[in-house]
Chain A
């Protein structure tokens, strides 16, 4: 191809810079929580959100009227408000602040808007539907039954080839002008068109930024896959340059056809350059934003103040007697209440929590999976594979049985002749199926069920060396402090996952530490490895002795159904059977209470529901196709506590806390703490901020209501058939959330806590810029300190 450089302006690096401001959410099958405004994290929180609001045209906080409502309900206390407002505003002003609409995003009042004002062309309406359809068809992972020809090539080349080969037009790309431009490289096509639109290179960056942000969802997705093509199973090689080049070609054809070849540019070389808010020094704060900032601080204070007081006052509680069993859970806020109920039912059980992949970083391939899925935190790149192996060879791998198929969901019914046959036959059956799933919901082929992730009859094939196994066991037992307190005879590891149906966001309900997958393979693998005599011998050599009569059992808790499943019970030593049965019964009882507690959050369920009914209710929700709220996931999350269970055992934290077990006495230097923080901060902070932003602006940062969503190419959801890809969380997941930043409380002396946080610059950024709030509680004196202006200062 002709590679003549027509312009000095570097399109590629300009788009690289712009992609910094795009959402980084990947394909929906592994929905992973992250800070929506990660790109702004190098600025202090309030400044970052304010800048972002001018880029995307979004709200940064709740509205003043919502704050006032919380205030009237008592969720924002008088004293916190007074403390937050001190020296900044009067209470009267806070209560009667004026309301301003959301600021305009840069694509709403910049260069692109001139197509409408100057030429009466609604460019977005004319170009977006075609562009989105092309992107979606190209990236499609299995919805359409015709794959786009040449989809193994780049988007630009694929499209050019279709246009060149086709005997029929592909508007707007078969226009002679478009054909001419398509023969250039995408960079050159962009440069030529921008030159024609804008007259001068100084407007290029602004126009390109507006173009990308006007459909942030698609631009972001293209960029994410460009950076890591392994995010798609059927590989594609999209890139942002191609995508924007196609968009500009389409725009050019629209302008050319509507206005004629000699249309006037929308900008002139003489006029001053329009700036990009994110490149500017801090934008001035509006009056409303000033008041919102105070309200936000007051709301957060109203939550954390009583919490810290309770923690400081709480008398350390230990299990009664020697624990007959120990249970390891995920740090997930949904495990917080399960542990509380379990400890209440079985006071002689000790519980721990650690990131729910239990240190087992792996790719996992189940019996019926056609490829392996990553089962560990996002930043970790696993090198090892764990496979599930069928015990009875009769069940052939990689073949989905007819029982698990549903013709309603396959495209066969959407074709010509088979469609005709199916509608005439299976069609009637649909009404029956619909009636049954309405009145007697049950597990269906399309239900995402965490309990089905692993078969209880199968075996695991673990690809680690014994040394690697020992590393993983040692790491978890030491970091949680379990090694020090000594292991009981029975140790149970409970991973977690969720069940839901008719829910494209299913992955967001599973374990975040397993990249949005159920944690059962990890828990089970951990138990298998810890029970291995060779591994135990290696651990013994390292000074971590596991008694011979200690046995590990792996299991999973389905957080939607409050249901349990355990693995490899056939190997359980006879002598432990009794204590296992009583543990199991105790945990089941705890889950009933947990279901009852969860039901309090569901508006349509009576508040006085008993435990049995509550359990039935949550199970019904998990399989009901008409239930948009199978559970509330991480909604209401507000704090993370890294410390001994004694600090919190017996406290009702209302399912709002991420808990990570850690014994400061085993870690005077804070090196274990530092490695815990490097997992807890991005995982919990990411969850917290994703909920925060989706809650404060569900239309811009979130995905809006889930009810009209349309699945697009199995990679995302849109509204209607021609909308932008939606990022963030839908209304139904965040509506009960109170948007407070995460309060991370670490049990250690303040100087160690600060040093541990500072060890990793990318972790410290969260704390330093207040994207999470950082506290330390001294194990000896219980004195609480708060991170402020680079120091740990006394909390007041």
Chain B
């Protein structure tokens, strides 16, 4: 039995197991006694990290679709991926993805949900960049990762604000809802992030089908299902959710119509339907949205899998069915609509300006005036808010500088680790008594990961470096993650702005590291 057959056997067993577990969960749910699992992994003072699963509601529907389509796609890929270099890599990434979806669907608390998010994010990055020798696939993998990262940390902050919420009324509720919505919109390719979805179609067709056709794209919907009570109790949030959904549906339908590539067209069409699901949820039709999700997931998954057929099919029909050319609009309006749709509603440029130009400009500026950046900014911060802010500002400067150092991997590793350490010291300085205790596991984790990374870079080993990257970016269940989690816990207690600074540094660190990694270990850009 060669390695390919072994992989096939293992994944087939895995997907069968997933189906059996899902059926079991469904049976228990039907009998009115859903399975619930709580496992406390880590505890420190009033902080608890609990791994919790609960088999009921929308999550279970999500899981059922995942088990069904996941199984079919695994079976599909056994033949499809035959002899493809990276066969094993493909299936292991797919397995990690399905595990992530499993955890995401059943998570009964936000820590667990976050673990699922991260697994899905990392496996997405790896599968979009599956063809490591191609520049465009790596570039797009990085784009998607950056957006995912923004969403992940947004969610983390939102979650803490929610947990530590002591009243605060509508304003606080709205901020939490916005953070949740930001996170859901990014993951589900909603306005203004929609542009990443077609660009993610770089991996083998079955991976595009299961990730971006069926499951990943609906992760945001699931998040909104899970947090319905939170955002529905805000007065304005449902309007925001519905509004974003509605704008997405319009913008993506237009973009889809001007797409002359088949996968791009399906991608935008799918995002438009998810937009409608947001609208349905905002209006309170949760069950309709759930039904809509199942239909859309199955349809898009199938459409993407058979997308190469479109040549034969449409050529046969060519001329025999009328093409839907918009006759209703003409003249200048038509050109306007076309310019808008074929430029994909300018979303990429908008996001670049909103989220990207700030950090890169600052980063360039820091490289030009390093002395002022390293001493002046922290000094100003110290004057404004004390030592904590000074340390956080230095961390920010280091993180931003790392963004500009993607050619030299070792520099990126140094600067991001430095930023993380400064961050931890800053937060524990300002935090409650005993916060110093958190720094120890966190710093130990950072230093260990940094060491691992340096060895990996020195030995030119992608495996070691990637492990180190996961650690430094605070991947769940790594020592850094617990530290990060704990630090965020205290950061929120100090002040909301500290928590936001803290997460900004983490987002930027993640992006710098993944860019440096692609550049140095794949044929990156």
Contact = CB atoms under 8 A, between A and B. Distances in A.
Interface in A707-750: 707-714, 717-723, 735
Contacts of B318: 141-142, 233-234, 370, 714
Contacts of B401: none
B261 A718 contact: yes
B198 interface: yes
Contact of B257 (A415, A628, A707): A415
Interface residues of B, number: 96
Nearest to B256: A414
If over half of B's interface residues share one DSSP class (helix, strand or loop), that class is named, otherwise mixed; here it is helix
Nearest to A426: B299
B79 interface: yes
Interface in B287-304: 291-292, 294-299, 301-303
A234 B313 CA distance: 16
B107 to A, nearest CB: 25
A168 B305 CA distance: 35
A168 B333 CA distance: 10
B123 to A, nearest CB: 16
Interface string B236-274: 000000000000011001001111111111111100110
A146 B257 contact: yes
A416 B272 contact: yes
B332 interface: yes
B315 A29 contact: yes
A444 B131 CA distance: 31
Contact of A446 (B269, B291, B306): B306
5 contacts: A144-B257, A234-B318, A429-B298, A434-B301, A707-B81
Contact of A419 (B198, B264, B272): B272
A170 interface: yes
B295 A137 contact: no
A163 B262 CA distance: 25
A149 B327 CA distance: 11
A626 B80 contact: yes
B9 interface: no
A405 to B, nearest CB: 8
Contacts of B76: 438, 625-626
Contact of B308 (A139, A142, A162, A503): A503
B500 interface: no
Contacts of A711: 261-263, 307-308, 310-311
B263 A710 contact: yes
Given A162-B339, A424-B292, A713-B261, 17 more contacts: A122-B525, A146-B341, A147-B323, A163-B339, A167-B332, A171-B346, A368-B320, A415-B257, A416-B272, A427-B296, A445-B316, A603-B82, A628-B82, A711-B310, A719-B136, A719-B137, A721-B264
A430 interface: yes
Interface string A734-775: 010000000000000000000000000000000000000000
Interface in A590-626: 603-604, 624-626
Contacts of A410: 317
Interface in A546-566: none
A710 B257 CA distance: 17
B276 interface: yes
A411 interface: yes
A719 B21 CA distance: 37
Contact of A165 (B267, B331, B340): B331
B260 A140 contact: yes
Given A419-B269, A714-B310, A721-B261, A166 B525 contact: no
A371 interface: yes
A249 to B, nearest CB: 16
Contacts of A148: 338, 342
Interface stretch (B10-18, B67-75, B366-374, B487-495): B67-75
Nearest to A732: B83
A170 B339 contact: yes
A694 to B, nearest CB: 16
Contacts of A406: 313
A722 B303 contact: no
Contacts of B262: 143, 710-712
A136 interface: yes
Nearest to B275: A416
Q: Which interface class (under 10, 10 to 19, 20 to 34, 35 or more) fits A?
A: 35 or more
B306 to A, nearest CB: 6
B52 interface: no
Contacts of A217: none
Contacts of B335: 149, 161-162, 165-166
B323 A501 contact: no
B261 A434 contact: no
A274 interface: no
B140 A720 contact: yes
Contact of B338 (A149, A504, A626, A719): A149
Nearest to B319: A370
B312 A448 contact: yes
B51 to A, nearest CB: 31
A398 interface: yes
Interface string A133-158: 11011011111111111000000000
B46 interface: no
Contacts of B272: 416, 419
B301 A430 contact: yes
A484 interface: no
Contacts of A371: 319
A8 interface: no
A423 interface: yes
Contacts of A503: 308-309, 312
Contacts of B315: 29, 141-142, 714
Given A165-B335, A168-B340, A721-B198, A625 B305 contact: yes
A628 B80 contact: yes
Given A398-B320, A428-B295, A625-B305, A714 B311 contact: yes
Interface stretch (B181-189, B202-210, B381-389): B202-210
B172 interface: no
Contacts of B294: 427-428
Interface in B79-127: 79-84
B139 interface: yes
Given A144-B265, A145-B324, A721-B263, A502 B199 contact: no
B458 interface: no
B477 interface: no
Contact of B253 (A415, A431, A628): A415
Contact of A720 (B77, B136, B256, B324): B136
B1 interface: no
Interface in B425-466: none
Contacts of B299: 408, 413, 422-423, 426-427, 430
Contacts of A424: 291-292, 295
A422 B299 CA distance: 9
Contact of B266 (A162, A414, A629): A414
Nearest to B134: A719
B321 interface: yes
B304 to A, nearest CB: 10
B283 interface: no
Given A413-B303, A430-B302, A720 B258 contact: no
A660 B298 CA distance: 50
B316 A368 contact: yes
Contacts of B301: 430-431, 434
Q: Which 9 A-B pairs have the closest CB atoms?
A: A427-B295, A370-B319, A414-B269, A446-B309, A165-B335, A430-B302, A427-B299, A707-B204, A140-B260
B129 to A, nearest CB: 11
B62 to A, nearest CB: 14
A794 to B, nearest CB: 43
A438 B204 contact: no
Interface in A162-197: 162-163, 165-171, 174
A159 to B, nearest CB: 10
A139 B260 CA distance: 9
A781 interface: no
A243 to B, nearest CB: 16
